[in-house]
Structure 1
């Protein structure tokens, strides 16, 4: 792993396909967002779910102020991995070149009746990665909370 990639893992007692269906559907992201910043989908380029590489979705956010982030699906391998790259919405054109480019990635490794889920925060393409990277402890806590919430959503009791 690169020094610009932060990952957390959790084994979840659910099939990879069920987990993938949740993480590949932006309408469900608020259900497991550990940062509590997501307010919901603002718009999506396709109503079909799960999304595929090249699809876009915009999320209403509120983290020390309201804003919109637009994401492009950059990886989509059903049951295995799903990732999107986020940038400020086109309405925030002055910020698009300075901020954005981070990739949120979910990798799924099925193992019998469980799945190892790895969430990564990849700053490799983030222009201000040194500054944004200062948020690593907060990001780690939020990702850990996201995986806990995801487990609660998909695990059978």
Structure 2
């Protein structure tokens, strides 16, 4: 873990492919979001699932105000990793438009009947990373809650 990349991990009693399918489906993000900021998926570039590199999806969000983020899939290896890079939607308010570029990444390491799931918050391409990084403690807590919610959804 570096200053600009924060990660948490948890072992989940579910196959990597099932976890991957959940995370790669934007319509399900509200179900496992541990931050409470995801409201709903509003638009997706592809009707096929799972999404692939270059596909995008937009999410209505609410964090100190409502806004929309458009996310581009930047990594998609079924059962291994899935990541997207968020940028403000073209209709975002002026101050929200200043942010964007962070990458949310999920990596999966199968181990018998369980999968080690690692979620990362990568700020290396975030426009205002010096400001955004101040929230890293809260983000780590939110990521832990996210992994807990994924386990609740998928474990027997």
Q: Same fold (TM over 0.5)?
A: yes
8 A contact 2:24–2:50 mirrored in 1: yes
Gaps of 5+ in 2: none
5 Å-filtered alignment, 1:1-157, equals 1-92=1-92, 94=94, 98-156=98-156
Q: How many residues align?
A: 156
Q: Unaligned 5+ residue runs, structure 1?
A: none
Q: SS of 1:40's equivalent?
A: strand
Which consecutive aligned stretches of 4+ in structure 1 deviate over 6 angstroms post-superposition?
none
User: SS of the residue aligned with 2:40?
Assistant: strand
Output the CA distance in 2 between the equivalents of 1:153 and 1:130.
34
User: Residue 95 of structure 1: CA displacement?
Assistant: 5.1
Specify the SS of the correspondent of 1:90: coil
Provide the C-alpha distance between the structure 2 equivalents of 1:5 and 1:50, rounded to a whole number of angstroms.
25
Instruction: Check the 8 A contact 1:89/1:96 in 2, yes or no.
Output: no
CA distance in 1, matches of 2:10, 2:149: 11
Deviation string for 1:79-114 (max 9, x for gaps)?
Answer: 000000001101127457631000000000000110
Shift, 1:2, TM fit: 3.0
Query: RMSD over aligned Cα, in angstroms?
Result: 1.3
Q: CA deviation at 1:57?
A: 0.3
Q: Distance in 2 between matches of 1:91 and 1:48?
A: 26
